[in-house]
Amino acid sequence: MHACWPGLLIVALCAQAQAADGPLRVGSKRFTESYILGEIVAQTAARHTTVEHKPGLGNTAVVLAALKAGAIDVYPEYLGTIDAEILKNPQPTDLAAIRRQLAEQGLGVGVPLGFQNTYALAMTAQRSRELNVRRIGDLAAHRELVIGLSHEFLGRADGWPGLAAKYGLKQQPTGIDHGIAYDALAAGRIAVTDIYSTDAKIASLGLVVLDDDRQFFPRYDAVLLYRLDAPPRAPAAWRAIEALEGRIEPARMIAMNGDAELRGRSFQDIAREFVDRATVAGAAASAPVSAAAGAARQGFFARLFADDFWRLTREHLSLVVLAVAAAIAIAVPLGALAAARPRLEQPVMAVTGVLQTIPSLALLAMLIPLLGRIGFVPALVALTLYALLPIVRNVTTGLRQVPQGLHDAARALGLTRAQRWWLVELPIAMPVIVAGIKTAAVISVGTATIAAFIGAGGFGERIATGLALNDSAALMAGALPAAVIALLTQALFEWLERRLARRGRTMPSTPT
């Protein structure tokens, strides 16, 4: 009998290995509710498997591209968005049809969380009374009103284009980030904005939600959109996630949004309180938050040098340094080729110039399906592409400025083409080349903040959170270190340029 124990042990270990859940990657969009729901899903699954949460991945297009590419496995979404925006169905579709259409793309939808968060339009109560505007249809008689809408709402099929056509609205709305729209509304800079029905600031600012009297907006029940291969890879974690079905009531979601936006709690703490039933046992979903929950946000300097400071610094610098190094490796040969063959200069400059015109977030979104991942790699590729133009241009200009006499002297000395380039042309052109690298590096420091929208880290994480919460301290805690890095980068290259200039003045003249 004892001889059988090793075999039984091996069988048991193999069975345990087969039963172990694989890692699960959770995504979320760049607004408060999605951050919180993403954290709830991640923390629920983390009790059963290794989980990575990629928060704040831009808008629907970005996070959907990440899901299709396999960079994430699941993220919180809304049925109306899936139906109208993702599947492009012209009319509301039933859930069975939605599931069939998603299955063709390897995706599934499920786990209705218990509330819906529909789009709506809102204005201040005072303005509503003054103009007697109670319904969306009433806006048609007030073409003078300034309407500020989130950029995603402006472009969605179930957003402004369809709404304006349905109600005959002729206003030309202005694009505004959702995180700052409420302040703009309260300050009177805009008269109307789009909101989510579970936004905590509706009640705190006393806003009037305009009645959708023609029933334009579909239902936006909160669900999970996931890859069909995710549940089989992490069965225990997925069973835990499925247990979230129906557990988040509307009042509870509004309270959690308020914890983040009005009471300064972190998304992780809010989710932890929800997931950990012991801390909320006996509390009603709509019960007021505790004193700890209502604690004020930390002071600015405490947030500036928070625990994530050095991690964000390392991530930001890594992106910039590697991107500029990769750009140098590509741009210097391109610039040298353009300088040596004038016919190629225009095509090279045109290609690198066009890359500069592509909006950074759009380029990042395009790279996700191409590279099949989110995070550091697509961000590095995008930053490298953006850094090419100033380096290519300055390499070409610098090499063209080398006097013809130096070229003739080098050839007379019997130097090969490679030796002439390395020993004569490159040193003479170096100050101009370094100036181009300086420009690329400083631009990269700023552009690297956008990389956080696809999970690449850096100080853009704080900026994205600050935008989602309309938290100026969080914005500054991300923008200030990035600005300091940019200034230090500028100073470093200016010092290098001065060194090169002094060396150039002290070099002995080359006989001609």
Which range marks the domain in which residue 36 is found? 18-113+220-296
Position 277 scores a pLDDT of 63
Q: Are residues 190 and 254 in the same domain?
A: no
Residue 214 lies in a domain: no
Pick the last residue of a domain from 267, 296, 325: 296
Q: Are residues 495 and 426 in the same domain?
A: yes
Q: What's the whole-number average pLDDT of the chain?
A: 84
Residue 323 lies in a domain: yes
SS3 string, 384-439, reads: HHHHHHHHHHHHHHHHHCCCHHHHHHHHHCCCCHHHHHHHHHHHHHHHHHHHHHHH
Q: How far apart are CA 39 and CA 43, in angstroms?
A: 6
Residue 158 lies in a domain: yes
Kindly report which listed range (13-17, 57-61, 417-421) carries the lowest average pLDDT score: 13-17
Q: Are residues 180 and 269 in the same domain?
A: no
Q: Are residues 191 and 82 in the same domain?
A: no
Question: Which of the given ranges, 129-133, 282-286, 470-474, has the highest pLDDT on average?
Answer: 129-133
Q: Is the CB of residue 170 less than 8 Å from the CB of residue 139?
A: no
Q: How far apart are CA 124 and CA 119, in angstroms?
A: 17
Torsion of CA 55, 59, 65, 70, to 10 degrees: 20
SS3 string, 444-487, reads: HHHHHHHHHHHCCCCCHHHHHHHHHHCCHHHHHHHHHHHHHHHH
- Dig out the tokens for 20 from the structure: 């172990």
Pick the last residue of a domain from 209, 235, 260: 209
Q: Are residues 391 and 452 in the same domain?
A: yes
What number is the average pLDDT over the span 214-222? 90
State what percent of residues in the chain have pLDDT above 90.
47
Q: How far apart are CA 280 and CA 156, in angstroms?
A: 38
- Asked whether residue 3 carries a pLDDT value surpassing 50, the answer given is no
* Helix locations, 284-308, DSSP H: 300-304
Residue 215 lies in a domain: no
Q: Are residues 86 and 201 in the same domain?
A: no
pLDDT tens digits for range 373-383: 778 888 999 99
Domain tally, the chain: 3
Position 504 scores a pLDDT of 60
Q: How far apart are CA 53 and CA 271, in angstroms?
A: 12
Q: How confident is the model at residue 1 (pLDDT cuts 50, 70, 90)?
A: very low
Q: Are residues 143 and 159 in the same domain?
A: yes
Residue 106 lies in a domain: yes
147-149 and 192-196 strand pairing: parallel
- Asked whether residue 295 carries a pLDDT value surpassing 60, the answer given is no
By the 10 Å C-beta count (0-12 exposed, 13-18 middle, 19+ buried), 32 is classed as buried
Kindly report which listed range (109-113, 253-257, 447-451, 497-501) carries the lowest average pLDDT score: 497-501
By the 10 Å C-beta count (0-12 exposed, 13-18 middle, 19+ buried), 1 is classed as exposed
- Dig out the tokens for 275 from the structure: 């997931």
Q: Are residues 109 and 142 in the same domain?
A: no
- The residue among 24, 47, 28 whose CA lies nearest residue 39 is 28
- Asked whether residue 18 carries a pLDDT value surpassing 80, the answer given is no
Q: Are residues 149 and 288 in the same domain?
A: no
> Identity (one letter) of the amino acid at 512?
T
- Asked whether residue 53 carries a pLDDT value surpassing 60, the answer given is yes
Q: Are residues 340 and 441 in the same domain?
A: yes
Residue 303 lies in a domain: no
- Burial code (b: 16+ CB inside 10 Å, e: under 16) for 467-504 equals bbbbbebbbbbbbebbeebbeebeeebeebbeebeeee
192-196 and 174-175 strand pairing: unpaired
Pick the last residue of a domain from 231, 261, 296: 296
What number is the average pLDDT over the span 145-168? 89
- Burial code (b: 16+ CB inside 10 Å, e: under 16) for 310-336 equals eebbebbebbbebbbebbbebbbebbb
Q: Are residues 391 and 442 in the same domain?
A: yes
What number is the average pLDDT over the span 478-489? 92
pLDDT tens digits for range 345-356: 899 999 998 888
The CATH number assigned to the domain holding 147 equals: 3.40.190.120
Q: How far apart are CA 45 and CA 47, in angstroms?
A: 5
The CATH number assigned to the domain holding 484 equals: 1.10.3720.10
Kindly report which listed range (17-21, 457-461, 500-504) carries the lowest average pLDDT score: 17-21
**Rounded CA Rg of the chain:** 28
Higher pLDDT, 473 or 175: 175
Q: Is the CB of residue 248 less than 8 Å from the CB of residue 114?
A: yes
- Asked whether residue 301 carries a pLDDT value surpassing 90, the answer given is no
What number is the average pLDDT over the span 30-54? 93
Q: How far apart are CA 30 and CA 7, in angstroms?
A: 51
Residue 512 lies in a domain: no
Residue 124 lies in a domain: yes
What number is the average pLDDT over the span 397-408? 81
Q: Are residues 101 and 127 in the same domain?
A: no
pLDDT tens digits for range 241-279: 999 999 999 989 999 999 998 888 889 999 999 998 633
- The residue among 120, 124, 129 whose CA lies nearest residue 191 is 124
Position 297 scores a pLDDT of 53
